[in-house]
Structure 1
Amino acid sequence: MNAHLADCRDLDYHRGYDVSEVLASWLDQQTSAVLLLDLMLRAEWLDKGADLPLTAVYQRDLQGGERGYRVCVVDTGLAVSPDDDGTAVFAAAVATGAAVYRSGAPIGLAPLSIPKPWGREIWYTGIEERGVCCFVDEFGGETPIPWLQLATAGMLGPADTPPVLLKILDPLPEPVRGDLYFELHHEKREVYVVTHVDSGAWPDGVGAIRYGFSPKRIEAAGGEREFRQQYLAAVKAYEVVRRSIDALPADQSVGAELLDQEHDLREQMNAFTRLRPLRTGDVVKVPLLLPHSLQHGVRTVEFQTPVYERQIISFAQEVLTQSHWDTEEAVEQMSLIAPAEEALDVVQSGEGVTIERIVSFEDFKAYRVSLASGARWQPGFESSYGLLMSVAGDVRFGELSIAPEQAVFIPAAACHECVVAGDQSAVMLLATPTG
Structure 2
Amino acid sequence: MRWQDFKTQYLIKFWAPLPAVIAAGILSTYYFGLTGTFWAVTGEFTRWGGHIAQLFGADPQQWGYFKVIGLEGTPLDRIDGMMIIGMFGGCIAAALWANNIKLRLPQHRIRIFQAVLGGIIAGFGARLAMGCNLAAFFTGIPQFSLHAWFFALATAVGSYFGARFTLLPIFRIPVKLQKVSAASPLTQKPAQARRRFRMGMIIFLVMVIWGMVEITNSPKLGIAMLFGLGFGLLIERAQICFTSAFRDLWITGRTHMAKAIIIGMAVSAIGIFSYVQMGAHPKIMWAGPNAVLGGLLFGFGIVLAGGCETGWMYRAVEGQVHYWWVGLGNVIGATILAYYWDDIAPALATNYDKVNLLDTFGPYGGLLVTYILLGLAFVAMLWWEKHFFAKKNAQSAISLDTSKEPA
The alignment's TM-score, normalised by the length of structure 1, stands at 0.21
Question: Highest relative contact order (Cα 8 Å, sep 6+), 1 or 2?
Answer: 2
Bigger proportion of residues as strand = 1
